[in-house]
Amino acid sequence: MMRRAGCLLLMLLLCGPARAITWQGDSGIPVILAVGGSFVYARDNQGQVWVWGDNQFGQLGRGSAQQSFQVRKFSTRNSEIDLLRLKDIVPASDYSFLWMDDNTVYGVGNNAYLPLTVKGSFLKTHVRVDLNEEIADIKAGFGHVLALTVRGEVLAWGRNSRGQIGNGNHANTKDPYKLPLENIVRIAAGGKFSLALDHEGMLWGWGDNEYRFLDPGTSADRTIPVRIDTGDIRIAGMDACGASIVLLDESGVLWTWGRNDMYQLGYDTGGETGISPRAVPLPLAVTDVAAYSSQTYAILEDGSLWSWGNNSYGQLGQGFRSSSTQGVLPGKAWDKDVVLVMGGSLFVFAMTRDGTLLSSGISKFGQLGRGDSKSVYTLSPTGLDLIKP
């Protein structure tokens, strides 16, 4: 996975709550923005980690389930965790992971589907996740987790209600399962499905197939990996939404297919499912893309941010909201200098080149980082920044 916002090949996960994205400034410490379902982790360029938003399952990792609208410095009761060794932050719907530079991984939050590899309904302090492998990437969906090893193998565990673990059954598991795939270079976790791209450019998928994006010939779950027909698309990056797929090709064109009841594919199909890839009509090449559930965001080569799909709480940032059943085709949310973008459940965060954080959408838990619960329909500065002098 590429995580530099200036690169063409940036894979964002996403629906499902996704993965963190980073921006390398002048300090030598990469900025990290990690947007979960209704919460946010962020590291500034001085190495300080901040958390805010929903904490009902302890997903902020501060040792309690106390709620607050305030942005707070992250602290942990786990003495093993040294934040100076933090490599990445992997957010999910209501749980999250800290990935350290010594290859250890720590998880916290909702554990109803066993994504934290231990027993217990939820955890308020990060616990070690024993993978016994050297990891190259981690992605998290709505209760399931994927890990890509440096040897090109894929591990999966957690929720398996639709076969998203890929082990041929529907039983949840806390024990990482090694899939029968080789030479994998990228992974993505959708809401209840999984994707893997191999070194020859072949795309594989498993799990929820209700909208026929894995196999157009059936709507049945695919409980083991199946090859997905992507035609002649030369895949540079990919994302997984709630029930659709986003591919970024080597020329900066976005291709989407799957569920489209809220125009989350970026074009009008009359609400019908798209069962094969189709290009999203955008005015310039795409450099970064982020998707969550039923909305998608793209940074274009001029630094502008475009968005489309579900806008029920103004999460597209275009200055208005639409009903939950009315989608929105691609429109501009910000003019220039956007280097990071990541969507959560009904809200979005973006960052400009100078470190200014922008947000819009719902803020029931204070997830917009503004210290209150007011929804915001226009993408605008929060008063926070992640690049300190």
Domain residue limits, the chain: 21-385
Q: How far apart are CA 72 and CA 230, in angstroms?
A: 44
359: left (phi over 0), alpha (psi -120 to 50) or beta: beta
Minimum mean pLDDT among 47-56, 118-127, 201-210, 320-329: which range?
A: 320-329
What mean pLDDT is predicted for residues 191-196? 98
Q: Give CA 255 to chain center in angstroms.
A: 18
Sign (positive or negative) of CA dihedral 180, 174, 42, 320: positive
Tens of pLDDT, residue by residue over 239-290, are 999 999 999 999 999 999 999 999 999 999 999 999 999 999 999 999 999 9
Position 26 scores a pLDDT of 62
Q: Which residue from 264, 247, 278 is spatially nearest to 11, judged by alpha carbons?
A: 247
**pLDDT digit string, tens, across residues 327-339:** 899 999 999 999 9
The residue type of 159 is: R
φ, ψ of residue 162 in degrees (nearest 5): -120, 15
> Per-residue pLDDT tens for 3-34?
333 332 233 222 333 334 566 656 688 999 99
Averaged pLDDT, 53-73: 97
- The amino acid at residue 97 is F
pLDDT 10s digits, 72-125: 999 999 999 999 999 999 999 999 999 999 999 999 999 999 999 999 899 999
Nearest Cα to 150, choosing from 129, 176, 170, 132?
132
Radius of gyration of the chain (CA): 19
Q: Degrees (nearest 5) of the Cα angle 104, 105, 108?
A: 150
| Cα–Cα distance for residue pair 154/162, rounded to 1 Å | 18
Task: Tokens for 310, please give them.
Answer: 């579900």
Residue pLDDT, tens place only, 262-276? 999 999 999 999 999
3-state SS, residue 83: helix
CATH code for the structural domain at 21-385 = 2.130.10.30
